[in-house]
A = this chain, B = another copy of it.
Amino acid sequence: MIELSKETIQNLPKIPRLNLINSCTGYKSANLIVTKTIEGISNVAIFSSITHLGSDPALLGFILRPTTVPRNTYKNIKDLGYFTVNHVTESMIVDAHHSSASYDETVSEFDKTNLEEEYHDGITIPFVKGSPVQILCKYLNEYEIKENGTIHIIASIEQLFIKENLIQAENWLRLDLENVVSINGLDAYCVPKLVDRFEYARPNIPTKSIL
């Protein structure tokens, strides 16, 4: 094993430090967050920090750096109160990654990529066409993480749109059936395949597969 101390990590040049720390926590979710400006221009940005927070009520959270790239996303969420979360599939990865380029708020990433808007009845914020899991979210709160100035956004899940073939027994969504990707580090896209699924673990009872 290679050992790296805190001091060694702190003294790394920026890119090797970013790569190392972004990849050392494991695989991350890959989601496109879509927002709209007050003027009606759609914004698309890729996020790898969206995390399940709880199921009752259904909540998710993600981390924003208000002083760096996805600040349009933050302003739009604060202005309109809603955003959509859209899973990235293998065929979308080039365009999903390109959504991280810092276009200003007058430019829609839908016009700069092959990603297409999809509207659902009664919802003014678009989703990403072809995304097999689409979530309408409502901004609830934010917590400033004072250790590094990032913001943890808390949102409720208001509506879900799911490609039917993903839905398995008891509502488990089997994501590999639509080649949903995960992110390794800053810029590497991976396709996971299911290996096994286990029943609820109980003390002193061997864990059994439920596949």
Q: Is the CB of A134 within 8 A of B189?
A: no
Rounded to whole angstroms, the CA-CA distance of A134 and B87 in the bound complex is: 29
Quick one: CB contact mask for A182-211 with B, threshold 8 Å, 1 for yes? Answer: 101111111111111111111111110010
| Cβ contact of A189, chosen from B4, B52, B87, B197, cutoff 8 A | B197
Copies of this subunit: 2
Given A3-B160, A150-B53, check contact A23 B175 (CB 8 Å): yes
Q: Does A58 contact B (CB under 8 A)?
A: yes
Q: Does A124 contact B (CB under 8 A)?
A: no
Point out the residues of chain B lying under 8 angstroms from A90, CB to CB. Answer: 195
Number of contacting residues on A, CB 8 A?
A: 117
| Most chain B CB inside 10 Å of its own CB: which residue of A50, A56, A59, A201 | A201
Quick one: CB contact mask for A44-57 with B, threshold 8 Å, 1 for yes? Answer: 00001111111111
Please name 25 pairs of A and B residues whose Cβ atoms are closer than 8 Å in the assembled complex, sorted by A: A2-B163, A14-B56, A19-B171, A24-B135, A24-B157, A24-B162, A51-B51, A93-B198, A94-B198, A98-B201, A98-B206, A99-B201, A101-B202, A101-B207, A102-B202, A140-B147, A141-B147, A145-B152, A176-B184, A187-B198, A188-B194, A188-B196, A189-B196, A190-B193, A192-B192
| Residues of chain A whose beta carbon lies under 8 Å from any beta carbon of chain B | 1-6, 9-10, 12, 14-31, 48-61, 63, 65, 85, 87, 90, 93-95, 97-103, 107, 112, 120, 133-135, 140-141, 143, 145-148, 150, 152, 154, 156-164, 167, 170-176, 180-182, 184-207, 210
